[in-house]
Amino acid sequence: MMRIEEEIQQFNFKNIYQKLHINVLFTASWINQQSNQQLKSYNITWQQFNILRILRGSHPKPATVKLLSERMIDKMSNASRLVEKLRQKGLVERTECPMDRRQVDVKLTDKGLILINEASENMESINAIQMNTLSEQEAATLNQLLDKMRF
């Protein structure tokens, strides 16, 4: 286990809250890098994986791009752009809503459903190994503390 001070070669912090802020950002970036590495073999990014998981949750019904944007973990990502990349890969279909042409419905293709099921299984097994360094009680406490930080 390497402490944040060693990871970033910074040994003095203004206060414990600055250290916490840097540690949370560093850890989130580390998890993001690990996730992207795991998804590389599926030729999708972590953000695309998130879109596919949301779509799997509503499958076989379509979801709107607006709903995808609202449910995405990374709120800075452009859902429309991600959906278009997934469409080009044959993983999703886009259709204009007949009643409201501004609304675009998105649903998984068979290929997309197979991919998200395989990628999810892989991610869950690898994440279980990474997160296994925490006990269930520690994981529950960390979840509670992170929720509290976001008030």
Question: Cα–Cα–Cα angle for 130, 91, 116, nearest 5°?
Answer: 25
Give me the tens of pLDDT residue by residue for the chain, a chain 151 residues long: 678 888 888 888 999 999 999 899 999 898 888 888 889 999 999 999 999 999 999 999 999 988 999 999 887 788 889 999 999 999 999 988 777 777 889 999 999 999 999 999 988 887 777 788 889 999 999 999 999 998 8
For residue 63, what is the domain's CATH number?
1.10.10.10
pLDDT given for residue 9 in this prediction? 83
Interatomic CA distance for residues 97 and 95, integer angstroms? 6
Interatomic CA distance for residues 58 and 61, integer angstroms? 5
pLDDT given for residue 47 in this prediction? 93
**Residue 143 counted as domain residue:** no
**Residue 72 counted as domain residue:** yes
Determine the structural domain holding residue 108 and report its residue range.
12-125
**Residue 100 counted as domain residue:** yes
**Residue 45 counted as domain residue:** yes
Interatomic CA distance for residues 97 and 137, integer angstroms? 46
**Residue 73 counted as domain residue:** yes
**Residue 40 counted as domain residue:** yes
Instruction: Count up the domains in the chain and report the number.
Output: 1
**Residue 38 counted as domain residue:** yes
**Residue 135 counted as domain residue:** no
pLDDT given for residue 81 in this prediction? 93
pLDDT given for residue 119 in this prediction? 95
